[in-house]
Amino acid sequence: MKNRLNQLLKFLNLTHDQEEFSVIDKSIEESVELRGTNLWILIFAIVIASIGLNMNSTAVIIGAMLISPLMGPINGIGYSIATYDVYLLKKSLKYYFFSMATGLVASYFYFLLTPIKTEYSELLSRTTPTIYDVIIAMFGGLAGIVALSSRQKGNVVPGVAIATALMPPLCTAGYGLSIGNWSYFLGALYLFMINSVFIALSAMIVSQLLKFPKKTFLLSKEIKNQRIIVAIIVTLTVLPSMYFGYTLVKKEQFRNASALFIETVSIHDGNFLLSHKINVDNSSIKLVYGGLELSDSSCLRLKEVAKEFGLENVALKIEHGLKTRDADLMMRQNSSLEGISNELLKIKMSLNEKNTALDSLTHTMLSGETILKEVSAFYQNIIGCSVSNSIQFTDSIPANGTPIKVVVFDIKGKLLNSEKQRVEAWLRRRLNDSLVVVKF
């Protein structure tokens, strides 16, 4: 057992392919400086990342993260703390804050001048950091410093640059600054600080574990004070992210429970659910029913059903759309209201067909999302897809028409006719239906 444990520890040992300390030290010191070539690369990366966020292009954002030199000063901070290198620590901090200021200024002016102000998902996702971002930054930083200390660096460092995503939140903070949205600015800047602190912490921990040689001698009291300062910074960085992470989980739980609840009460006491609205921010659900008027006891039963789905504290608002009794009275008073009579008949008939219609509608909506994911992998110009069922009437077929599917694609830019033909052919094979009508 002891031999197996020793073999395992030997297998996990980092020192067998560790680079010389002098080489590691030189590599980290050179990467800290952001001037000349590195400074221009930083500016170019900031502009590229800002364009990617502005156009909601993940590929462009990844490209900016790959060429960004922001990791250098952050690794230098952690490494200098571990090796008691005061000169390198001051130098790393100087270039770190300089790079932050450069990123904010460059992205601020880009978003100030660009005519496109749409807040796409790539921007919004960087404004609400959570504890999961802390975990990503921590393990990404560990991978990065381990790779720097190894002779076989491979493609780990570029991967760490992508995973920890330093550039996008910095540019998002510039966007928030340009539009005067302090919530976006502070949220994105906080995400940037999370990544910075935990990459530096990872560099410090690994440098200490690998016993990198110390540059100066510190008294035990000075070492203790240093550790206290590091602990305070880490704690202050983590606490807000834990709260945001908890809030995110609770909102997701509320959203899922609300969806199941709404599906269950789509038909209630002879009433058909016309529309609904879920507000996760204030934990409220609005239901609008059509059909018979809901009594107080019916509304009370709805609240009891909500409790079964863990929605005890939900603010449930119930409204009536078209009431069957009111519509019947209107028809008796005015025979000219034939249109309302027809609409009422449709609602009454749909009450009996609701259960089967729900499955069909859900499948159609999901198929649109699935088709978009599949086709956009090959044609990035296609950014939207909707699928609906329809009936086609022609002189050559019976009066009841032919059921068809209509697929509408939203395109950004242009799509060649040959590409449209290939998409149409693929879609008919994909849906196993030759009567699909495709619109671009």
Rounded distance, CA 398 to CA 240, Å? 65
pLDDT at 192: 87
335-358 pLDDT, tens digit per residue, is: 545 666 666 666 666 665 655 555
Question: Does residue 250 lie in a domain region?
Answer: no
Of 353, 385, 412, which marks where a domain is finished?
A: 353
Q: What contacts 357, CB < 8 A, 6 or more positions away?
A: 350
Report whether 382 contacts 372 (CB < 8 A).
yes
| Lookup: tokens for 319 | 């409204």
The one-letter amino acid code at 26 reads: K
Pairing of strands 437-439, 402-411: parallel
- Same-domain check for residues 19 and 100: yes
Q: What is the DSSP letter of 292?
A: S
| Polymer length of the chain | 440
**Of 76, 80, 77, 70, whose CA–CA distance to 164 is shortest?**
70
Instruction: Categorize the per-residue pLDDT at 157 as very low, low, confident or very high, splitting at 50, 70 and 90.
Output: low
What does the pLDDT look like over 16-61, one tens digit per residue?
A: 666 778 887 888 888 888 888 888 888 888 888 888 888 888 888 8
Number of H helices, E strands in the chain: 16, 7
Q: What is the percent of the chain where pLDDT is above 70?
A: 79
Contact 302, 287 (CB under 8 A): yes
Alpha carbons within 13 angstroms on the beta-carbon side of residue 438 total 22
Q: Which domain holds residue 428?
A: 361-439
Q: What is the pLDDT of residue 397?
A: 56
Query: Do 135 and 103 belong to one domain?
Result: yes
Mark whether 311 and 194 lie in a shared domain: no
C-alpha distances out from residue 72 to 39, 48, 178, 194, 387, Å: 12, 19, 27, 16, 48
Residue 206 has pLDDT above 80, yes or no: yes
- The more confident residue out of 219 and 109 is 109
pLDDT single digits (tens) 161-196: 666 677 888 888 888 898 888 888 888 888 888 888
DSSP 378-399: T-TTEEEEEEEEEEE--TTS-T
If pLDDT is split at 50, 70 and 90, which confidence band does 328 have? low
Q: Which residue has the higher pLDDT, 412 or 148?
A: 412
Q: Are 227 and 201 a contacting pair, CB within 8 Å?
A: no
* 344 plus 304 within the same structural domain: yes
* CB atoms inside a 10 Å sphere around CB 380: 13
Q: Is 243 a member of any domain? A: no
CATH code for position 375: 3.30.300
Question: 21-32 and 131-148 are packed helices; what angle lies between their axes, rounded to 10 degrees?
Answer: 130
Mean pLDDT computed over every residue of the chain: 78
How many independent structural domains does the chain possess? 3
pLDDT band at 127 (very low <50, low <70, confident <90, very high): confident
The predicted pLDDT at position 296 comes to 77
72's CB contacts (< 8 A; 6+ apart) are 28, 30, 31, 32, 33, 34, 38, 95
Q: Which of 305, 321, 353 is the last residue of a domain?
A: 353
- Put simply, whether the predicted model's pTM sits higher than 0.85 gets the answer no
Could you give the maximum distance between any two Cα atoms of the chain, in Å?
99
Residue 247, domain member (yes or no): no
Both 282 and 414 in a single domain? no
Please, which residues have CB within 8 angstroms of residue 120's CB and are 6 or more apart in sequence? 53, 54, 55, 56
- In angstroms, rounded to a whole number, what is the distance separating the alpha carbons of residues 123 and 169? 8
- Indicate whether 131 and 168 sit together in one domain: yes
Asked if residue 162 belongs to a domain, the reply is: yes
**Whole-number pLDDT of residue 393:** 77
286 in a structural domain: yes
Is there a domain that residue 318 lies in?
yes
From CA 33, how far away is CA 99, in angstroms rounded? 10
- Name which of 274, 278, 268 is nearest 304 in CA terms: 268
Query: What's the mean pLDDT in 58-87?
Result: 83
Inside any domain, residue 224: no
Please state which of the ranges 170-184, 237-251, 301-315 shows the lowest mean pLDDT.
237-251
Three-state DSSP class for residue 418: helix
Q: Give the pLDDT mean for 355-380.
A: 68
Identify whether 407 is part of a domain: yes
3-state secondary structure 8-23: HHHHHCCHHHECCHHH
Q: What is the pLDDT of residues 249-277, one digit of tens each?
A: 787 788 888 888 888 888 777 777 878 88
* Residues 372 and 402 reside in one and the same domain: yes
